[in-house]
């Protein structure tokens, strides 16, 4: 059996494949033409958010039985074409949950304690002690929008910090909520009562621009918004307006409607906004887990 690894993969994952007796071919991010050549005799392909596994690629791979995505989103894979051929598609949705949750707190502290701002000032030779007055998290209320894998980890950490936890999810899991000391409320209540609002919903029709002008206006002027879900869950223009007009106190953003975020984007102008380039899952541990989980599923399918 032959597996094409078409994106960087943790060595432990490669080991899983080799220990199963598979031949592993590695080529980083081949373009479509090259991928078409490479897939001719492979039983499985592993990708990340790149390269694109198009219909043409799938149709050029007569032996292909499984496509593995080390990570979550499957938007780079033509699922319809895979389904038509009976090719299984596997991923590792939970592998990065803890990493994303920890980044949420990284962003939150950076905004709440003005860390990124103070660091920028230090580098300019400015001792910005007075301008860097912050707030504590203990005793504050965090509103977790979307209480799934990541939302749960965020709520667990928030609980450990002594925050009050409000939750909003159309499919409330009361038992898990109890575990993290969380209380389910409707979205309006969550937005009105939270000092921190953090988004952990999938991007679907119902969540596109979920956080719009009207909902930003419900938030406290002292509140911080964190988005490490998907850029389009927030109406960016409305957020820029909210920051300009002081409807909220700041934001920490890992995801954007347009990625990479253009260098001259209005969001880069605010001192009270902290930006990271979609690095929620970028940890050694998350990458290892994602790779190993996908490799193990591929072994099971090809050997099963
Ligand atoms: P999940 O499926 O485990 O949880 C999502 C939760 O959202 C579910 O409980 C679901 O019931 C709930 N939900 C669905 N529609 C909703 C709505 N309209 N309002 C409120 N809740 C709703 O997903 P997850 O693994 O926790 O991932 C959450 C988000 O994080 C996704 O958008 C994912 O793309 C994103 N993500 C980002 C990064 C990053 O690098 N920043 C990494 C991984 C995942």
Question: Distance from the CA of 44 to the center of ligand 1, in angstroms?
Answer: 28
Domain of 87, CATH number, reads 3.40.50.720
Do both 122 and 265 map to the same domain?
yes
Question: Distance from the CA of 294 to the center of ligand 1, in angstroms?
Answer: 20
**Mean per-residue pLDDT over the chain, rounded:** 98
Q: What percent of the chain has pLDDT over 70?
A: 100
Please determine, for residue 56, whether its predicted confidence score (pLDDT) is greater than 90.
yes
Question: Distance from the CA of 97 to the center of ligand 1, in angstroms?
Answer: 10
| Cα–Cα distance for residue pair 147/73, rounded to 1 Å | 18
For ligand 1, atom 35, name the residue with the nearest CA. 229
Question: Distance from the CA of 304 to the center of ligand 1, in angstroms?
Answer: 31
pLDDT in tens, 267-277: 999 999 999 99
Question: Distance from the CA of 165 to the center of ligand 1, in angstroms?
Answer: 17
The values of phi and psi at residue 233, to 5°, are: -70, -25
Do both 77 and 51 map to the same domain?
yes
Instruction: Give the mean pLDDT of 4-17.
Output: 97
Note the pLDDT of residue 123: 98
Do both 219 and 126 map to the same domain?
yes
Do both 100 and 29 map to the same domain?
no
**Which among 240, 238, 255 has a CA at the least distance from the CA of 199?**
255
Do both 105 and 233 map to the same domain?
yes
Note the pLDDT of residue 73: 86
Question: Distance from the CA of 148 to the center of ligand 1, in angstroms?
Answer: 6
| Cα–Cα distance for residue pair 44/107, rounded to 1 Å | 37
For ligand 1, atom 31, name the residue with the nearest CA. 202
pLDDT in tens, 26-55: 999 999 999 999 999 999 999 999 999 999
CB-based contacts of 86, cutoff 8 Å, min separation 6: none
CB-based contacts of 267, cutoff 8 Å, min separation 6: 236, 239, 240, 243, 253, 256, 261, 273, 275
pLDDT in tens, 91-120: 999 999 999 999 999 999 999 999 999 999
| Cα–Cα distance for residue pair 27/6, rounded to 1 Å | 5
Please state the ipTM of this predicted complex. Answer: 0.99
* Full residue range of the structural domain in which residue 39 is found: 2-91+283-303
Determine the residue of 106, 146, 154 to mutate for testing ligand 1's pocket, defined as the one with the most ligand atoms within 8 A of the Cβ atom.
Answer: 146
Determine the residue of 91, 101, 150 to mutate for testing ligand 1's pocket, defined as the one with the most ligand atoms within 8 A of the Cβ atom.
Answer: 150
Do both 261 and 287 map to the same domain?
no
For ligand 1, atom 9, name the residue with the nearest CA. 148
At 191, the pLDDT band (50, 70, 90 cuts) reads very high
pLDDT in tens, 158-174: 999 999 999 999 999 99
Active site residues: 230, 259, 278
Do both 23 and 107 map to the same domain?
no
Do both 70 and 127 map to the same domain?
no
Please report the DSSP string for the chain in residue order. Answer: -EEEE-S---HHHHHHHHHTT-EEEE-SS--HHHHHHHGGG-SEEEESS-S-B-HHHHHT-TT--EEEESSS--TTB-HHHHHHTT-EEEE-TTTTHHHHHHHHHHHHHHHHTTHHHHHHHHHTT---TGGG-----TT-EEEEES-SHHHHHHHHHHHHTT-EEEEE-SS--HHHHHHTTEEE--HHHHHHH-SEEEE----SGGGTT-B-HHHHHHS-TT-EEEE-S-GGGB-HHHHHHHHHHTSSSEEEES--SSSSPPTT-GGGG-TTEEE-SS-TT-SHHHHHHHHHHHHHHHHHHHH-
Note the pLDDT of residue 48: 95
Note the pLDDT of residue 79: 98
Determine the residue of 202, 203, 205 to mutate for testing ligand 1's pocket, defined as the one with the most ligand atoms within 8 A of the Cβ atom.
Answer: 202
Instruction: Give the mean pLDDT of 245-266.
Output: 98
At 304, the pLDDT band (50, 70, 90 cuts) reads confident
Do both 191 and 69 map to the same domain?
no
Count of structural domains, the chain: 2
Please determine, for residue 81, whether its predicted confidence score (pLDDT) is greater than 90.
yes
Do both 138 and 79 map to the same domain?
no
**Which among 250, 260, 205 has a CA at the least distance from the CA of 227?**
250
Instruction: List all residues whose CB is within 6 A of at least one atom of ligand 1.
Output: 72, 93, 96-97, 100, 145-151, 168-171, 200-203, 206-207, 228-230, 254-255, 278, 280-281
Do both 46 and 178 map to the same domain?
no
Please determine, for residue 72, whether its predicted confidence score (pLDDT) is greater than 90.
no
Ligand 1 nearest atom to the CA of residue 279, by list position: 40
Do both 12 and 116 map to the same domain?
no
Note the pLDDT of residue 146: 98
């Amino acid at each position: 059996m032959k597996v094409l690894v078409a994106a960087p993969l943790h060595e432990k994952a490669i080991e899983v494949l080799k220990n199963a007796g598979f031949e592993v071919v590695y080529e980083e991010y081949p373009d479509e033409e090259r991928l078409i050549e490479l897939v001719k005799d492979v039983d499985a392909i592993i990708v990340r958010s790149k390269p694109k596994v198009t219909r043409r690629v799938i149709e050029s791979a007569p032996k292909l039985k499984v496509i593995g995505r080390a990570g979550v989103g499957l938007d780079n894979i033509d699922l319809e074409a895979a389904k038509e051929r009976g090719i299984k598609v596997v991923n590792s949705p939970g592998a990065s949950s803890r990493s994303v949750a920890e980044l949420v707190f990284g962003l939150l502290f950076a905004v709440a304690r003005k860390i990124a701002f103070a660091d920028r000032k230090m580098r300019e030779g400015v001792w910005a002690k007075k301008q860097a007055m912050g707030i504590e998290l203990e005793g504050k209320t965090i509103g977790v929008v979307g209480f799934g894998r990541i939302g749960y980890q965020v709520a667990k950490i928030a609980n450990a910090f002594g925050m009050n936890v409000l939750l909003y999810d159309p499919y409330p899991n009361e038992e898990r909520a109890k575990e993290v000391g969380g209380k389910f409320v409707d979205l309006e209540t969550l937005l009105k009562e939270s000092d921190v609002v953090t988004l952990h919903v999938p991007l679907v029709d119902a969540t596109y621009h979920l956080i719009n002008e009207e909902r930003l206006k419900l938030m406290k002027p002292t509140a911080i918004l964190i988005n490490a879900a998907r850029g389009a869950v927030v109406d960016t223009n409305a957020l820029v307006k909210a920051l300009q007009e002081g409807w909220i106190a700041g934001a920490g953003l890992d995801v954007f409607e347009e990625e990479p975020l253009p260098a001259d984007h209005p969001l880069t102008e605010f001192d009270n906004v902290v930006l990271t380039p979609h690095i929620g899952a970028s940890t050694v541990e998350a990458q290892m887990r994602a790779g190993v989980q996908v490799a193990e599923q591929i072994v099971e399918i090809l050997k099963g």
